[in-house]
Structure formats: C-alpha cells, structure tokens
Amino acid sequence: MIQVFTGPMYGAKSLKLIEVYQYTINKKKDNVMCFKPSIDVRDFAKIASRNHTLELDATVIDNLSEIKEHLTDKTQVILIDEAQFLHGSEKELLDLSLLGYDIYVAGLACTSEQTPFGIMPNIMAIANSIVHSKARCDDCENWNAEYTYCIAEKSGEILVGSEQYIALCENCLRKRVRIKGVKK
C-alpha cells in the first residue's frame, strides 16, 4: 500500500506522517523506518511539522533505491518526507509495496511556479490513495490554500526553506500573478 500526502507548503503533510507514526507505534507495534532527502537541511535528519512538537528521527537519503539498504527484518512501515527532492524510480516504492510494506509519502506535487515537482507526480501515479491537504491562505486567511508561492527571488529551480514561501488559494494566486505578470 502506498499513500501520498500532498498539498501546499504549510499544509500539514509532515504532520500526517507523524500521525501515522503515532498510530502505528501505539496501535500495531509495527517497526517504522523514516526517510528524508539530504537536500532538506531545515530539520536535518528529522521529520518535523510546524504544527506539532514531536519530531521523528529519519535516515537521510538521496535516491529511493537507498531505502531497501536500511530496512530490517522488523520493518513493516516506511515513512518518506519531502519526497519531491528525491531521485530514482517510483518503481522502487512499488516493488517494496508489493513485498508487503506500507509506505506513506509526503511531498509537494507542484513547484511554486505550479509545475510538477520532481518525482512526486510519478509516485502519485502508483499510489493507492492520495490525500490533498490545504493550508491557510497567507493573503485572505481562508483555509482553502492549495498553492505554494515563492516571495523571494529564486536563482535556481530549487530554493529550500520555508520563510521564502507562502500558501495561497486560487483567487489570491491569480491576483499575485496578475500583479507580477506571468514569466515567459
């Protein structure tokens, strides 16, 4: 089974992983392995949520193929945070799922320019279920933000951090795009 948690920045995706961890440890006593990409240095080697105080220790990887190297005989559940930054093939996750592992993946489906982000669209294509979360819109303050928007100047495709981004609903994104103009 592969379940994906996606949505904008501040959409509580990492919190969903923490909730899965708590449920799994408290109810099933399964062995859980947590992973995150090395490029995400905000909470290095931790799965952390801005909405929760609990942090999970995570094994840092760069490629999905590295996951199987860290699994033990007791591992039954795999949690992956910020998957959009990982490399490799989604087939690695599919193969693990077919071997009986339950896999929970959190990540951004789109960049702040609203284009597919890394490997996330491929992971979503093989997922058994996808949970799309929303966040509070930074402009109108309604809880219907589905988009991440960069308020800083980006010199490359990826700018890791959270202070440079806000969450916007569709109407507020449209307003900002009209003001800023669409890049060609």
Closest by CA position to 169, among listed 148, 152, 145: 145
Residue bearing tokens 């933000």: 145
Contact assessment for residue 40 and residue 82, using Cβ atoms and an 8 Å cutoff? yes
Concerning whether 82 is annotated as a catalytic residue, the answer is: yes
Task: Supply 63's token pair.
Answer: 């490629």
Q: Taking a C-beta distance cutoff of 8 angstroms, is the pair 131, 3 a contact?
A: yes
Kindly give the residue spans of alpha helices, DSSP state H, lying in the chain.
13-23, 67-70, 91-98, 120-126, 170-180
Catalytic residue among 69, 82, 90, 153: 82
Cα four-point dihedral sign 30, 31, 36, 41: positive
Query: Is there a contact between 4 and 94 (Cβ–Cβ < 8 Å)?
Result: no
Spatial contact of 47 and 58, defined as CB atoms under 8 Å apart: yes
Residues with catalytic roles: 82
